[in-house]
Chain A
Amino acid sequence: MSIVTVQLGQCGNQIGFEVFDALLSDSHSSQGLCSKRENEAYQASCKERFFSEEENGVPIARAVLVDMEPKVINQTLSKAAQSGQWKYGQHACFCQKQGSGNNWAYGYSVHGPRHEESIMSLIRKEVEKCDSFSGFFIIMSMAGGTGSGLGAFVTQNLQDQYPNSLKMNHIIWPYGTGEVIVQNYNSILTLSHLYRSSDALLVHENDAVHKICAKLMNIKQISFSDINQVLAHQLGSVFQPTYSAESSFHYRRNPLGIDWHVRPPLSGLPPLGKMSLNKDLHFNTSVANLVILRGKDVQSADVEGFKDPALYTSWLKPVNAFNVWKTQRAFSKYEKSAVLVSNSQFLVKPLDTIVGKAWNMFASKAYIHQYTKFGIEEEDFLDSFTSLEQVVASYCNL
């Protein structure tokens, strides 16, 4: 079951590189306590999901790189090639000369339609290379212009052309304070559009990951590289194969099984020597939780705490809302590691904050002329506000 990754914009491409790197180096790292046969199946499954094989044996990432200006893609391609372990496909990139200028409207209304053919055709080629295609993993930021605007456009297209495949968007939630001044506008426009076309939004907040780097990892001078590596590590521990009862190392579709759009925010844990649980969950009601355990003693691990009905909304039985996946194969040399993927009220506060700030700015009409220039009118903003308010309300009512 293969996944095609679409990396959009500077953020998407920088992260994408780290993700593939993390996946492959875990795949090559020591097997821990699991058997040789299991390890081989693990490696084969990982490879099949994320890489295709070339004649000379260097795995090629199943990825399409999209950016509206060339600097980042060039860097990403060369970093991958330099590693010697894997690389990107030669013709897997789409690049233009001039960026989107942090303008969601430009990314969505100008770049999107203009380059729709080329981008979709690249994606199609990548999908066709898969023997058994499972879905898309789209990496994008919300704050800029390309990842956000073009990302929303591409996801919409994917929804139209591949309605039966999983589309999971990896969203980077910007720092609360300033990366981009219009980041709140870009964010609400992105989220409201993705709600209609994406199956799942996996969220990473820059602020949260930054704290992990500062407090848990004690990095003094934190760079975006550090942040991206932590992200990639968390994603890797979610995406690597796990043993399932039905068939070995089967990448599952979204196990939540709920028809309405759910957003599973990723509150991943940095893998520690011991198992640790995210106690914060007691404060945020969940719709669904997924725990993934890797390494030593996974069979005897006690996950009863996650079945506590207090964690879940009253109309869900924990047995329907909680899943646990296990594998004895260690992840990235950690003896034991655990990851929690959670769909809960976790993100309500950040979402509400962003909507509030965007509204504040919108009420003063600041920067609106930059969007109306490219066809995004005030009604579009109002629609976005309305749909996100509904999301907030839905989560609040859990």
Chain B
Amino acid sequence: MTQSVVVQVGQCGNQIGCCFWDLALREHAAVNQKGIYDEAISSFFRNVDTRVVGDGGSISKGKICSLKARAVLIDMEEGVVNEILQGPLRDVFDTKQLITDISGSGNNWAVGHKVFGSLYQDQILEKLRKSAEHCDCLQCFFIIHSMGGGTGSGLGTFLLKVLEDEFPEVYRFVTSIYPSGEDDVITSPYNSMLAMKELNEHADCVLPIDNQSLFDIISKIDLMVNSGKLGTTVKPNSLVTSSSGTLKKRHKKPFDAMNNIVANLLLNLTSSARFEGSLNMDLNEISMNLVPFPQLHYLVSSLTPLYTLTDVNIPPRRLDQMFSDAFSKDHQLLQADPKHSLYLACALMVRGNVQISDLRRNIERLKPSLQFVSWNQEGWKTSLCSVPPVGHSHSLLALANNTCVKPTFMELKERFMRLYKKKAHLHHYLQVEGVEKSCFTEAVSSLSALIQEYDQLDTTKNMPNLELRKYISRFSAVSLTYTRCNPQHLPFK
């Protein structure tokens, strides 16, 4: 089995990361009753004998001694990381895995990317190498960050280039929080645009998530809870609210609950790789199946159920309902409309007591309402993991490579152009060494090219195969001299 390393960058990245480690520990605690350090746990945790000083403490088998997260925590301010180190998870992290500074990036991508990038490049490399050395077979880096700020956005994407150069064989999965429309960081369009170029060029797979969707999901759950519908109540110590165990009242920005959703996403994404099932799906299969062309690696995720039963006393829903939910906008982690756009590929990762016939029945049921690109009409990748998430009998994570991400990117570009035309706040960026106007123009062309790719795919919607072939030959340099025999000549019934 393989291991993965989580690199959490910036305030948002670290807060989500912290939720992730909390949930991961709980999940493994629930599954691993005997306290034996097994391969499933080792995918995210090291087993360390804390009595041993220095590096020699790793234990590969036997009873669990002390679990250490395979993580690198990076932040250019100390607040969040310090909070983590003083919180209930402090023993899960190694102080050797942290890189912090005091001044912060000032919500400036250039400071995060260029200034802190060069300042901390060696340290970053060293920590990453160390974490890789602790792995038997490192398969994947999970990078968690936000796009709108300075550290997560700038330093987080600087990391990507480092990872690509240093560990070219290891997959780079990026979970990126995109700013919502009413983001209070004025420069977030600049930061996001500049970060997008890096994601386009150096990430294997990106899971874009926006705060607005997460907020909507939490609001709906809150609404259900507060309205007392169906006798739902939030239990204390729930995974929806914070791990401090107290019932949280409705907040303006209930970040903890939102972060937990993203953390759940990552857990479900990796469940079939960690646990057994009748149809396994490893992490390398995600990009193999869902990325038909290297640039088109943005996947819209939707998760169901979104709360755990330990949080909310909701009567369990029918299995088929779960599949319908996954294709409803309410369960998406990005504001987008996949049903009215074109699917390039779709993955369904199911956990729990679900069998192949259930999967097939639901695919047949949902297929007619979804449009798939002509060369991938049956573009479904499926996996069945026997181990359900904590508190549920089954769950479903759907990952869609769909042209519906185009509006998100177009909006990003528009917000950027509004600021850029006025040259507002531009000097903050240009005064950083190594940053010129060309950085901006290059970023814009990179994003424009990406939008164009999605555009061209969209025009193929409802196009019959014949025309499609002519259109496709524009893409390919190889002239296909091969022709197929006419299938109508087959004599059988």
**Chain A residues with CB under 8 A of B294:** 369
- Min CB distance A95 to B, Å, is 10
A393 CA to B490 CA in the complex, in Å? Answer: 9
Asked if B492 and A348 make an inter-chain contact with CB atoms under 8 angstroms apart, the answer reads: yes
A220 CA to B358 CA in the complex, in Å? Answer: 9
Asked if A366 and B357 make an inter-chain contact with CB atoms under 8 angstroms apart, the answer reads: no
A283 within 8 A of B: yes
Could you tell me which residues of chain B, from 455 to 483, have a CB within 8 Å of some CB in chain A? 465, 468-469, 472, 475-476, 478, 480, 482
A97 CA to B283 CA in the complex, in Å? Answer: 13
B345 within 8 A of A: yes
A364 CA to B457 CA in the complex, in Å? Answer: 11
Question: Interface size (A, Cβ < 8 Å)?
Answer: 60
B289 to A, closest residue via Cβ: A181
A10-B279, A365-B475 known; A356-B288 Cβ under 8 A? no
Asked if B136 and A97 make an inter-chain contact with CB atoms under 8 angstroms apart, the answer reads: yes
B480's partner among A71, A363, A396 (CB-CB below 8 A) is A363
A175-B360, A177-B378 known; A363-B472 Cβ under 8 A? yes
Chain A: interface secondary structure? helix
Asked if B378 and A176 make an inter-chain contact with CB atoms under 8 angstroms apart, the answer reads: yes
A284 within 8 A of B: yes
Asked if A283 and B493 make an inter-chain contact with CB atoms under 8 angstroms apart, the answer reads: yes
- Min CB distance A358 to B, Å, is 10
Asked if A366 and B487 make an inter-chain contact with CB atoms under 8 angstroms apart, the answer reads: no
A180 CA to B282 CA in the complex, in Å? Answer: 12
Pick from A24-32, A98-106, A164-172 the stretch touching chain B.
A98-106
- Min CB distance B98 to A, Å, is 28
Contact with B along A129-166 (1 / 0, CB 8 A): 00000000000000001000000000000000000000
A277 within 8 A of B: no
**Chain B residues with CB under 8 A of A364:** 374-375, 468, 472, 475
B484 to A, closest residue via Cβ: A359
- Min CB distance B3 to A, Å, is 9
Pick from A48-56, A221-229, A244-252, A316-324 the stretch touching chain B.
A221-229
Could you tell me which residues of chain A, from 355 to 387, have a CB within 8 Å of some CB in chain B? 355-357, 359-361, 363-367, 369-370, 378, 382, 385-386
A361 to B, closest residue via Cβ: B375
**Chain A residues with CB under 8 A of B360:** 175, 177, 210
**Chain A residues with CB under 8 A of B287:** 370
Asked if A366 and B374 make an inter-chain contact with CB atoms under 8 angstroms apart, the answer reads: no
**Chain A residues with CB under 8 A of B276:** 71-72, 75
B187 within 8 A of A: no
A366 CA to B379 CA in the complex, in Å? Answer: 11
B345 to A, closest residue via Cβ: A181
A214 within 8 A of B: yes
A182-B288, A182-B289 known; A378-B478 Cβ under 8 A? yes
A224 CA to B278 CA in the complex, in Å? Answer: 6
B1's partner among A69, A210, A385 (CB-CB below 8 A) is A69
B292's partner among A70, A220, A227, A367 (CB-CB below 8 A) is A367
A369 CA to B490 CA in the complex, in Å? Answer: 33
A38 within 8 A of B: no
Asked if B356 and A178 make an inter-chain contact with CB atoms under 8 angstroms apart, the answer reads: no
Asked if B382 and A179 make an inter-chain contact with CB atoms under 8 angstroms apart, the answer reads: yes
- 16 additional A-B pairs beyond A70-B39, A99-B285, A176-B378, beta carbons within 8 Å, are A69-B2, A145-B285, A178-B380, A181-B290, A181-B376, A182-B289, A219-B357, A224-B279, A224-B356, A227-B356, A283-B492, A355-B484, A364-B374, A365-B472, A366-B292, A396-B491
Chain A interface residues (CB < 8 Å from chain B): 10, 14, 69-72, 75, 97-99, 101-103, 145, 175-182, 210, 213-214, 219-225, 227, 283-284, 345, 348-349, 352, 355-357, 359-361, 363-367, 369-370, 378, 382, 385-386, 389, 392-393, 396
- Of all A-B residue pairs in the complex, the 7 with the closest CB atoms, nearest first, are A178-B380, A101-B284, A222-B357, A366-B292, A97-B137, A223-B355, A224-B278
